[in-house]
Amino acid sequence: MLGRTQLALLEDARPGEPLAAVIPLDDMAHERLKAIERFIRSIHRQHLPDARLTAAQRRRLSHMLRCLDGRDQKASHFEVATTLFGRRLVSAADWHDSAFRYQTHRLVRDGLRMVERGYRQLLRARRRRS
């Protein structure tokens, strides 16, 4: 099964007993090792920050998910924007030309793209350019 991820849980595996991980040595090996390190640290309640996303990127992804949740609940873009940005900032009178309207549309659009095919890019570490 080249290029696919396999997860095998052994029948006799018991909580608290050692586990094993097999990592393909491909172009994603470094990212996989980092993920395993974060997993091990989380088991031992040690926080290892995930540096793949900036705080702004995390916030935007959170907004995208909230927009999609609103969409699933049949909320209008105006209702979603009001929830995200607050009633004080989002005005019904100015909604048609509002920057919040355009931003909400972009968040929904980009969220749908992420759900369709883009979520895998989250797994890849940002690489420094040489």
Whether 61 and 53 have beta carbons less than 8 Å apart is answered as yes
pLDDT tens, 22-79? 888 888 888 888 888 888 888 788 877 667 778 888 899 999 999 999 999 999 999 9
Whether 126 and 79 have beta carbons less than 8 Å apart is answered as no
User: Among 97, 99, 107, 98, which Cα is nearest to 75's?
Assistant: 107
Sign of the dihedral defined by the CA atoms of residues 97, 98, 100, 101, in that order: negative
For residue 130, CA distances in Å to 46, 83, 106, 126 come to: 32, 41, 31, 13
pLDDT value, residue 6: 59
Angle at CA 26, nearest 5°, toward 54 and 28?
10
Confidence class of residue 130 from pLDDT cuts 50, 70 and 90?
Answer: very low
Structure tokens, 1:
């099964």
pLDDT value, residue 2: 46
User: Among 28, 22, 27, 26, which Cα is nearest to 7's?
Assistant: 22
Whether 122 and 35 have beta carbons less than 8 Å apart is answered as no
pLDDT tens, 12-34? 777 777 778 888 888 888 888 88
User: Among 118, 117, 128, 126, which Cα is nearest to 34's?
Assistant: 126
